[in-house]
Amino acid sequence: MSYAMSVLYGRALPDARDGLKPVHRRILYAMHELGLASRKPFRKCAKVVGEVLGNYHPHGDTAVYDSLVRMAQNFSMRYPLIQGFGNFGSVDADPAAAMRYTECRLEMLTEVMLLTDLELDTVDFVPNFDNSKMEPSLLPARIPNLLLNGSSGIAVGMATNIPPHNLSEIVDALSALIRNPDVTLQELLEYMPGPDFPTGGLIIGNIGILEAYRSGRGQIVIRGKTEVELLDEKNKHTSIVIKEIPYQTNKAALVEKIADLVEEKVLEGISDIRDESDRLGMRIVIELKRGTDPSIVLNKLYRLTDLQSSFSCNMVGILDGQPKLMGIKELLQAFLDFQALLLAD
């Protein structure tokens, strides 16, 4: 039981107030202490990882570096907290380069929304693992980062999976809750209609959103965004272009799966598949045989591949020192209570 609680609090679950797990909080604080501001030069990630390991987080360097990399990936985080310079991986699940090659510094959003007023005793500081330094027990967040970027983690007997959201929609929902503490879920949904995933896609239906926002658990169905392009009007020669994919979907694996289904003759009517994605955006071209109905092929793609997938919401965070499953209103209220406490201090 002691080990399970240690994993819950020390690694796997985020705090409902600043939305960060201990490793993320320590990375950001270490970068703040090193002076890696958004307008300062980049520094090697190995320097940051060494600082975190030596002073705050005595665990494996791989765990720290992987956490740092994720905070810099714009396909993993709706609003990245770290600026990365170098190879930080891709949506094809390519790994980041070794920490001795990559460089990083804080994003301006992180400085303004998570680290401002840290030196003004706005939050409690606690001794680090060997009592040689002090570290913040949480950061003085000005935004509900737990909803902004979401979180995922697996602990002992408990897990969390929170989707990311749009900043302006969260602010509007918070304003509505401040004006009327008895606001209903339906009224909050007018300001905050659903998650906002960094890789885009379309959310199918709102029953999953309603259930997740009400109880903290629910299944949200996400479908990739596609367009049908006409190649030859006379012969009805068309192609399906995938421009956005569901969150946490491996693009390379998706293309490979489609190719395998075509080779096995499970998917018919496809003559060619090309990944034309570049730094300007995603573009997977599925060229169809002449006379093939694109809607039939699309429906099979949704059914047989990850072009349509489900995001399982399980909104668990640490509140008042205890892990708790919370709905959207309770999460927003927890952040407002935290802000009131900061102002009182």
Q: Which range is most confident: 39-43, 232-236, 338-342?
A: 39-43
Residue 84 pLDDT level (bands cut at 50, 70, 90)? very high
Residue 234 tokens read as 């006379």
Q: Which residues are catalytic?
A: 101
**What are the tens digits of pLDDT across the range 161-198?**
999 999 999 999 999 999 999 999 999 999 999 999 99
In angstroms, the CA 254 to CA 217 distance is 27
Question: In sequence order, what are the residues at sequence separation of 6 or more whose Cβ sits closer than 8 angstroms to the Cβ of residue 121?
Answer: 345
Question: In sequence order, what are the residues at sequence separation of 6 or more whose Cβ sits closer than 8 angstroms to the Cβ of residue 193?
Answer: 169, 206, 209
> For the chain, what is the radius of gyration of the CA atoms?
22
Residue 111 pLDDT level (bands cut at 50, 70, 90)? very high
pLDDT of residue 83 exceeding 90: yes
What per-residue string of b and e applies to 71-110 under the rule 16 or more CB within 10 Å gives b? bbbebbbbbbbbbbbbebbebeeeebeebeebbbbbbebb
**What are the tens digits of pLDDT across the range 205-228?**
999 999 999 999 999 999 999 999
**What are the tens digits of pLDDT across the range 299-343?**
999 999 999 999 999 999 999 888 899 999 999 999 999 998 877
**Residue 200's closest CA among 281, 90, 80, 95?**
281
Mean pLDDT of 20-35: 95
Is residue 160 within a helix (H) or strand (E), and if so which, with residue range? strand 159-162
Residue 175 tokens read as 């304003």
Chain centre to alpha carbon of residue 94:
17
Q: Is 70 left (phi over 0), alpha (psi -120 to 50) or beta?
A: alpha
**Residue 63's closest CA among 9, 24, 19?**
24
Residue 345 pLDDT level (bands cut at 50, 70, 90)? low
In angstroms, the CA 2 to CA 187 distance is 42
Sketch out the chain's domains with CATH numbers. Answer: 20-140 (3.90.199.10), 158-223+311-344 (3.90.199.10), 225-306 (3.30.1360.40)
Q: What is the DSSP string of 113-146?
A: IIITTGGGT-S-EEE-TTSSSEEESS---SS-HH
Mean pLDDT of 48-73: 95
Contact between 232 and 317 under an 8 Å Cβ cutoff? The reply is no
Mean pLDDT of 277-285: 91
**What are the tens digits of pLDDT across the range 237-254?**
899 999 999 999 999 999
